[in-house]
A and B are shown apart, each in its own frame.
Chain A
Amino acid sequence: MSADTRVNAVPATASEGLVMGKDGMAALVDVLVRRGFTVIGPTARDGAIVLAELRSADELPYGWGVELEAGRYRLRERSDGAAFANAAGPQSWKSFLHPSRVREWSADRVEGELVLTPDRDAPPRYAFLGVRPCDLRAIAVQDRVLTGGAYRDPGYTGRRSGALLIVVECTEPGATCFCVSMGTGPAAGPGHDLVMTEVVDADGHRFWIRSGSEEGAEILAELPARPAGPETREKARADVTAAADRMGRTMPEADLRELMAGTLDAPRWDDVAGRCLTCGNCTMVCPTCFCTTTEDVTDLTGDHAERWRLWDSCFDLDFSQLHGGPVRASARSRYRQWMTHKLGTWYDQFGSSGCVGCGRCIVWCPVGIDITEEAAALHDWTRSGVTAAEPEEG
Chain B
Amino acid sequence: MVTDLGPVIRTRPTLAVWKFASCDGCQLTLLDCEDELLGLTGRVRIDHFLEMTPAEGADRDRARLAGRGPYDLSLVEGSITTAEDAERIQHVRRVSRRLVTIGACATAGGIQALRNFADVDDFLTAVYAQPEYIATLETSTPISAHVPVDFELRGCPIDRRQLLEVVTAYLAGRKPQISDHSVCFECKRRGTTCITVAHGTPCLGPVTHAGCGAVCPAYGRGCYGCFGPSSKPNLRSMVAQLRRDGMSERDIQRVFRTFNAASPEYAPVPDLAAEEQQSPPA
Where the two chains meet, the residues of A that have a C-beta atom closer than 8 Å to any C-beta of B are 45-48, 50, 71-75, 90-91, 95, 100-101, 274-281, 284-285, 295-302, 305, 310-311, 313, 315-318, 329, 331, 363-367
Contact = CB atoms under 8 A, between A and B. Distances in A.
A85 B282 CA distance: 31
Contacts of A365: 197
B206 A366 contact: yes
Most B CB contacts (10 A, CB to CB) among A277, A295, A297, A365 go to A277
A331 B177 contact: no
Given A275-B237, A298-B172, A367-B237, A74 B194 contact: no
Contact of A317 (B39, B206, B232): B232
Contacts of B62: none
Given A297-B165, A301-B39, A316-B185, A278 B193 contact: no
Given A100-B188, A277-B206, A280-B185, A364 B197 contact: yes
Given A274-B237, A281-B188, A298-B168, A47 B181 contact: no
Contacts, number: 134
B189 A311 contact: yes
Contact of A366 (B191, B192, B241): B241
25 contacts: A46-B193, A46-B220, A47-B193, A48-B198, A50-B191, A71-B196, A73-B198, A90-B193, A277-B233, A277-B237, A277-B238, A279-B182, A279-B205, A297-B165, A298-B169, A298-B174, A299-B39, A301-B43, A302-B172, A311-B189, A313-B181, A316-B180, A318-B180, A363-B197, A366-B203
Which one of A75, A279, A305, A331 has the highest number of Cβ atoms from chain B below 10 Å of its Cβ? A279
B40 interface: yes
Contacts of A310: 189
Given A275-B237, A284-B185, A366-B203, 20 more contacts: A46-B198, A48-B193, A75-B198, A90-B194, A91-B191, A276-B234, A277-B241, A278-B182, A296-B174, A297-B177, A298-B172, A300-B39, A302-B168, A317-B180, A317-B232, A329-B232, A331-B232, A363-B197, A366-B196, A367-B237
Contacts of B99: none
Interface of B: 36, 39-40, 42-43, 164-165, 168-169, 171-172, 174, 177, 179-182, 184-185, 188-194, 196-200, 203, 205-207, 220, 231-234, 236-238, 240-241
Contacts of A72: 197, 200
Contacts of B181: 280, 313, 315-318
Contacts of B194: 73, 90, 281, 364, 366
Contacts of B168: 297-300, 302
A255 to B, nearest CB: 31
Contacts of B232: 278, 317, 329, 331
Contacts of B165: 297
Q: Which label, helix, strand, loop or mixed, suits the secondary structure of the B interface?
A: helix
B58 to A, nearest CB: 34
Nearest to B183: A279
Nearest to B165: A297
Given A100-B190, A299-B168, A317 B231 contact: yes
A278 to B, nearest CB: 7
A278 B40 CA distance: 37
Given A276-B234, A277-B182, A278-B234, A300 B40 contact: yes
A329 B232 CA distance: 9
A40 to B, nearest CB: 12
Contacts of A297: 165, 168, 177
Contacts of B236: 274
A90 B198 CA distance: 9
A313 B185 contact: yes
